[in-house]
Amino acid sequence: MTDLTYGQFEMVHNVLNLTIAIFGGSAFLFSMLQNQVAPSYRFAVNLMAVVVAMAAYHYVRIYEAWNAAYVFTDGAYKSTGLPFDYALRYADWLSTVPFIVASLVLVLDLGRAKSTNMTIRMVVSSMLMLLFGYFGEVQRTDMMLRGLWLIFSMIPFAYMIYVLWVEMSNLLEFETARIRQYFSALRVLLVTSWTFYPIVYCLPMLGLKSAELELGIQIGNSVADILAKAMFGLLIYSIAREKTVEDSLSKQVSGATPARVQA
């Protein structure tokens, strides 16, 4: 690990700390918001509450690992010799990304058979992407092998993009304009925040290493995680809430049952 100035170390230290607070807070928020959505959409919101709760836990461990990698000596932060364990982040992704993609499918409420089938395909693809990424991540010397695992990892990623843009777009034609807007925002958010990870993955292959780069990686990862989990969860809730209101209005119009506010 490269030595850091006091300011550099503290910057990462504080961003990691802030991230723990945002994830913990989001878990609390989503668990309260579940009551604002109809039972059919509730499981998706519950899953996102779990995602941010697990992310909060993992960030506590990442924060501990960051503190263990440096020691304050002579006015600066020197490496303790123990490398910062980047693979900790894979433990986070492996336990949260499958739930993120599942919640994206489930909130659309496509009917049991279609929903189950698509959820399984998305969950399996996301796990393969992460596993291949992990096998490459632990390759610290053989850069050819690291590059090869990246290519493997990109195959399930490309498949997920296909499902999101082609398959799901067809299923959404009967949804209202607002739902389609939310959904577009959701998938753009997911894919743009996810592109940050392969960029960081490639840095060792380019031989880049400096204190500034280390800062960029840690802060960039936190921002990408906040967008892909907390912000994403808020959008999932917005869709669930919108659909709850729409369902209740359509019942009112057809005169079947009086609209009952799900609360």
Minimum CB–partner distance for residue 147 and a copy of itself (Å) = 19
The CA distance from 40 to 233, in Å, is 16
Which residues touch 81 (CB under 8 Å, ≥6 apart)?
none
The CA distance from 166 to 98, in Å, is 20
Minimum CB–partner distance for residue 34 and a copy of itself (Å) = 6
Question: Which tokens in the block code for residue 176?
Answer: 């209202």
Q: How far is CA 107 from CA 10, 78, 238, 243, in A?
A: 39, 47, 10, 9
Q: Is 196 in the site for a copy of itself (CB under 8 A)?
A: no
Q: Is 91 in the site for a copy of itself (CB under 8 A)?
A: yes
Minimum CB–partner distance for residue 183 and a copy of itself (Å) = 18
Nearer to a copy of itself, 171 or 247 (CB): 247
Q: Is 95 in the site for a copy of itself (CB under 8 A)?
A: yes
Nearer to a copy of itself, 82 or 151 (CB): 82
- 84 contacts 1 by C-beta, under 8 angstroms: yes
Per CB under 8 A, contacts with a copy of itself among 166-185 are: none
List the strands of the sheet with 76-79, edge to edge. Answer: 4-5, 76-79, 70-73
Give residue 1's identity as a one-letter amino acid code: M
- Which residues, listed in sequence order, are joined to residue 70 by a DSSP beta bridge? 79
Q: Is 115 in the site for a copy of itself (CB under 8 A)?
A: no
Q: Is 78 in the site for a copy of itself (CB under 8 A)?
A: no
Residues that bind a copy of itself (CB under 8 A): 6-7, 10-11, 13-15, 17-18, 20-22, 24-29, 31-34, 36, 38-39, 42-43, 46-47, 49-51, 53-54, 57-58, 61, 72, 81-83, 85, 87-88, 90-92, 94-95, 138, 261-263
